[in-house]
């Protein structure tokens, strides 16, 4: 324990001579008088601190051992109980292993390592010499490369640098085809049956009693081989039945519903969360992400929240067998606004 600092400030005199001669407004008080720590004066306290640091490191060792005891010692059966027990002890073991090392080193540095204060003088921000030196380097480069005297080299270099980024365009094109008009179309088409999510069984109009809410996918979705999730993400629909008197269809949309059964896109027009929180008494649809609220009795007009467009309605009717079918695709793009949509 002989390498303690005696606490003498080693370089405080550099700051003590305060500023310029002519300014006398503010005297640099210099460093506060150094206060010795207990461990600096009392060998017993130093010994105690040493033991404390060692104990913290031992706690770290115990933590690592605890991790391995839990990892190998706890037999996982099929229940969550053993998994939870193991997770708890794995976490505690790693926590103590890390905390022990960290707190040990900090305690060591605070209590035992030299604690002399050091002040560093601030440098001048920019000197004229540095600026001139930098200018000279630029001039030297222009002069020594001879780029002004050799236009052939200069022009070919410009050509090379201009062409070199072009491969990047080819590479980034490979990230995928442009979306094209895929954002404007979904799987729905005339005659496409409305089916239950997830099993894909078609829905009869008589199945939909008043107050019901069905989560709907196009019947052909489950037979898709590729891009099923993307297709589903655009095509999901919520089907609800209200008293027909509660619906107030605007002109041209009177025949989009069937006996009070309406179908609306489930994709929020704000940022695309599924709007499926249907309140069957108030006829409100709530988006759980940002609380946009749509009123089913006003063709899903936004009555609260950040969304600005109503949910797109899917025109539906029934086919000869009594199953609900779409009359067409949605008449507008589903989901959030995008650049080209305008």
Partner 1 sequence: MKALSQKRRHPLAALALLVMGLMLTGGLYAVVTTVNEAKADTTTYSAHEVEEGEKLFIANCATCHGLGASGTDAGPSLAGVGAAAVDFQVGTGRMPMQMQGPQAREKPKQFTTEQTREMAAYVATLGDGPALPAEEYIDGEGDAAAGGELFRVNCAMCHNAAAAGGALTRGKFAPSLAGVSNSHVYSAMVTGPQNMPVFNDANITPEGKRDIITFLNTIENQGNPGGAKLGSLGPVSEGLFLWTAVLGVIIGFTIWLTSRTS
Q: Does 197 bind partner 1 (CB under 8 A)?
A: yes
b/e sequence 5-33, b meaning 16+ C-beta within 10 Å: bebebeebeebeeeeeeeeeeeeeeebee
Q: Does 215 bind partner 1 (CB under 8 A)?
A: yes
For the bound state, the minimum distance from the C-beta of residue 262 to partner 1, rounded and expressed in Å, comes to: 13
Q: Does 257 bind partner 1 (CB under 8 A)?
A: no
Answer for which of 5, 11, 64, 103 binds partner 1 (CB under 8 A) is 103
For the bound state, the minimum distance from the C-beta of residue 52 to partner 1, rounded and expressed in Å, comes to: 6
DSSP reduced 3-state for 324 = strand
Task: Determine the distance from the C-alpha atom of residue 254 to the mean position of all C-alpha atoms in its chain, rounded to a whole number.
Answer: 43
Point out which span in 5-13, 78-86, 175-183, 220-228 binds partner 1 (CB under 8 A): 78-86
Tell me, residue by residue from 35 to 74, as one string, x for binding to partner 1 by CB under 8 A and - for no binding. x-xxx---------x--x---x--x---------------
**How many other C-beta atoms can be found within 10 angstroms of the C-beta atom of residue 123?**
7
For the bound state, the minimum distance from the C-beta of residue 340 to partner 1, rounded and expressed in Å, comes to: 30
Point out which span in 3-11, 103-111, 156-164, 317-325 binds partner 1 (CB under 8 A): 103-111
Backbone angles phi, psi at 26, to 5 degrees: -130, 120
User: How far is the C-alpha of 30 from the C-alpha of 35, rounded, in Å?
Assistant: 15
Give the nearer residue to partner 1 in terms of CB position, either 73 or 91. 91
For the bound state, the minimum distance from the C-beta of residue 165 to partner 1, rounded and expressed in Å, comes to: 41
User: How far is the C-alpha of 104 from the C-alpha of 167, rounded, in Å?
Assistant: 53
Give the nearer residue to partner 1 in terms of CB position, either 202 or 249. 202
Answer for which of 3, 209, 223, 245 binds partner 1 (CB under 8 A) is 209
In which element (H, E) is residue 71 found?
A: helix 43-73
The encoded tokens of residue 129 equal 């010499």
Answer for which of 79, 223, 245, 250 binds partner 1 (CB under 8 A) is 79
Task: Determine the distance from the C-alpha atom of residue 25 to the mean position of all C-alpha atoms in its chain, rounded to a whole number.
Answer: 52
Residue found by looking up tokens 């099923």 in the block: 228
- The answer to whether 188 and 264 have CB atoms below 8 angstroms apart is no
Q: Does 212 bind partner 1 (CB under 8 A)?
A: yes
Alpha-carbon distances, residue 313 vs 14, 105, 244, 330 (angstroms)? 78, 65, 16, 7
**How many other C-beta atoms can be found within 10 angstroms of the C-beta atom of residue 155?**
10
Give the nearer residue to partner 1 in terms of CB position, either 115 or 253. 115
Bond into 12 cis (ω within 30): no
Answer for which of 73, 91, 159, 191 binds partner 1 (CB under 8 A) is 91
Give, as ranges, the residues between 133 and 172 that touch partner 1 (CB under 8 A).
none
Answer for which of 80, 149, 173, 290 binds partner 1 (CB under 8 A) is 80
Point out which span in 17-25, 87-95, 119-127, 163-171 binds partner 1 (CB under 8 A): 87-95
Tell me, residue by residue from 317 to 336, as one string, x for binding to partner 1 by CB under 8 A and - for no binding. --------------------
Q: Does 116 bind partner 1 (CB under 8 A)?
A: no
- The answer to whether 268 and 275 have CB atoms below 8 angstroms apart is yes
Residue found by looking up tokens 């370089």 in the block: 11
The encoded tokens of residue 292 equal 């946009």
Which among 191, 193, 210, 213 is positioned nearest to 274, based on CA atoms? 213
Interface ranges with partner 1 (CB under 8 A): 35, 37-39, 49, 52, 56, 59, 79-81, 83-84, 87-88, 91-92, 95, 99, 103, 106-107, 110-111, 115, 196-198, 203-204, 206-215, 240, 274, 276-282, 284, 286, 288, 291, 293, 304
């Amino acid at each position: 324990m002989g390498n303690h600092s005696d606490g003498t400030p080693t370089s405080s005199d550099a700051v003590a001579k305060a500023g310029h001669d002519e300014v006398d407004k503010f005297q640099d008080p210099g460093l506060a008088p150094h206060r010795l720590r207990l461990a600096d004066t009392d060998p017993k306290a130093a010994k105690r601190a040493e033991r404390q640091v060692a104990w913290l490191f031992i706690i770290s060792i115990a933590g690592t051992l605890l991790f391995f005891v839990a990892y190998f010692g706890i037999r996982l059966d099929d229940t969550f109980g053993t998994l939870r027990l193991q997770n708890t002890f794995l976490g505690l073991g790693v926590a103590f292993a890390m905390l022990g090392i960290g707190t040990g080193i900090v305690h060591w540095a605070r209590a035992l390592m030299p604690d002399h204060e050091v002040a560093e003088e601030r440098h001048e921000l920019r000197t004229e010499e540095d600026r001139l030196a930098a200018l000279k380097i630029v001039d030297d480069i222009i002069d020594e490369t001879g780029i002004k005297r050799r236009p052939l080299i200069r022009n070919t270099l410009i050509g090379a640098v201009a062409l070199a980024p072009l491969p990047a365009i080819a590479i980034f094109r490979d990230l995928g085809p442009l979306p094209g008009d895929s954002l404007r179309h979904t799987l729905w088409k005339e005659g496409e049956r409305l089916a239950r999510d997830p099993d894909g069984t078609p829905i009869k109009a008589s199945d939909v009693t008043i107050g019901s809410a069905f989560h709907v996918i196009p019947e052909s979705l489950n037979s898709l081989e590729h891009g099923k999730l993307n297709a589903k993400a655009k095509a999901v629909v919520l089907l609800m039945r209200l008293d027909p008197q509660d619906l107030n269809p605007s002109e041209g949309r009177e025949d989009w519903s069937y006996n009070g059964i309406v179908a609306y896109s489930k994709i929020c027009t704000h940022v695309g969360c599924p709007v499926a929180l249907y309140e069957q008494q108030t006829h409100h649809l709530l988006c759980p992400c940002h609380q946009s609220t749509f009123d089913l009795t006003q063709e899903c007009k936004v009555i609260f929240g950040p969304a600005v467009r109503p949910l797109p309605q899917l025109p539906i009717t029934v086919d000869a067998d009594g199953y609900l079918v779409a009359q067409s695709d949605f008449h507008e793009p589903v989901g959030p606004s995008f650049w080209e949509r305008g």
